[in-house]
Amino acid sequence: MDYKQAWDYQTNLFQSILDIKALNRNSGDQQITPNYLLFCEHPHVYTLGKSGNEQNLLVKKEELNTVAATYYHINRGGDITYHGPGQIVVYPIIDLENFFTDIHKYMRLLEEAVIQTLKEFAIQAGRIKSLTGVWIDSENEKNARKICALGVKTSRWVTMHGLAFNVNASLDYFTNIVPCGIADKTVTSLQKEMGGPQDIERVKKILKEKLISLFEMELIN
């Protein structure tokens, strides 16, 4: 799905939940807020978070057409990242008041879902203190490499944006940026770690199951 199309779709769902919450504040008849878990892949695109440094895009924006990529400065947290084919992007558009009111816990559970998914492939992954995301060889400072980036926006406990998990993504595209503004670490993919392309639909299924379990969700559609 085109990035802008997905961003607009997310925004509409996000705002619809906020609208319900606004009505609930002034009404004795409380509506239950809906929650959405969106999975997609994007064409080649670079996105910069609201407080990110544009200098972390290492090529001129007008040259991005030479690599068939687009660019957006968006309203999530975090710095610059890449999305493209072979990368699972997950956008939870949820009201955390239906689950728990803790942004730190929310971020850690998104990471944990990816960590548990990788464990199904016998890959040990983890976290690095003060660096959001999921890392391979997280305890080895020199060899640590990011396999999943996170960036979210929240308002009144409603979330949008989410995580980007490199499965079969082309890592060449990351050479055009300083990924997430971290210059001394590299990125990787499940394909690279496993030594060959992976069944991305299988990975999506496992990841979805982990998210549902960790958040104690009931999938109804």
Question: What range does the domain containing 153 cover?
Answer: 3-215
Whether 144 has a pLDDT exceeding 90, the answer reads: yes
Whether 187 has a pLDDT exceeding 90, the answer reads: yes
Secondary structure class of 151 (helix, strand, coil): strand
Q: What is the pLDDT of residues 191-212, one digit of tens each?
A: 999 999 999 999 999 999 999 9
Whether 11 has a pLDDT exceeding 90, the answer reads: yes
DSSP 122: T
Q: What is the pLDDT of residues 75-107, one digit of tens each?
A: 999 999 999 999 999 999 999 999 999 999 999
180: annotated active-site residue: yes
Per-residue confidence at 164, pLDDT binned at 50, 70, 90? very high
220 within a domain of the structure (yes/no): no
From the list 136, 180, 187, 211, the catalytic residue is 180
121 within a domain of the structure (yes/no): yes
Query: What percentage of the chain reaches a pLDDT higher than 90?
Result: 89
Whole-number average pLDDT of the chain: 95
Secondary structure class of 7 (helix, strand, coil): helix
Please, what is the angle between helix 200-215 and helix 103-119, to 10°? 140
- 116 token code pair: 């548990």
Query: If 0-12 CB within 10 Å is exposed, 13-18 middle and 19+ buried, where does residue 103 land?
Result: middle
15 within a domain of the structure (yes/no): yes
201 within a domain of the structure (yes/no): yes
- Classify each residue of 144-161 as buried b or exposed e, where b means 16 or more C-beta atoms within 10 Å of its C-beta: bbbbbbbbbbbeebbbbb
134 within a domain of the structure (yes/no): yes
In contact, 162 and 92? CB cutoff 8 Å: yes
Per-residue pLDDT, averaged over 131-150, amounts to 93
In angstroms, rounded to a whole number, what is the distance separating the alpha carbons of residues 23 and 216?
A: 26
In angstroms, rounded to a whole number, what is the distance separating the alpha carbons of residues 172 and 20?
A: 43
Residues near 115 by beta carbon (within 8 Å), at least 6 away in sequence: 125, 126, 127, 134
Per-residue pLDDT, averaged over 35-55, amounts to 96
Per-residue confidence at 1, pLDDT binned at 50, 70, 90? very high
Q: What is the pLDDT of residue 150?
A: 97
CATH number of the structural domain spanning residue 103: 3.30.930.10
221 within a domain of the structure (yes/no): no
Q: What is the pLDDT of residue 181?
A: 86
Query: What percentage of the chain reaches a pLDDT higher than 70?
Result: 100
Per-residue confidence at 179, pLDDT binned at 50, 70, 90? confident
132 within a domain of the structure (yes/no): yes
Number of structural domains the chain divides into: 1
Per-residue pLDDT, averaged over 2-31, amounts to 94
Per-residue confidence at 120, pLDDT binned at 50, 70, 90? very high
Q: Got the DSSP string for 39-90? A: EE--SSEEEE-TT--GGGB-S-GGGGGGGT-EEEE-SSSSSEEEE-TTEEEE
Residue with tokens 């660096």: 131
Instruction: Report the predicted TM-score, pTM, of the whole model to 2 decimal places.
Output: 0.96
In Å, how far are 111, 206, 217, 220 from 120, measured between CA atoms? 15, 8, 21, 25
Q: What is the pLDDT of residue 92?
A: 98
In contact, 70 and 188? CB cutoff 8 Å: no
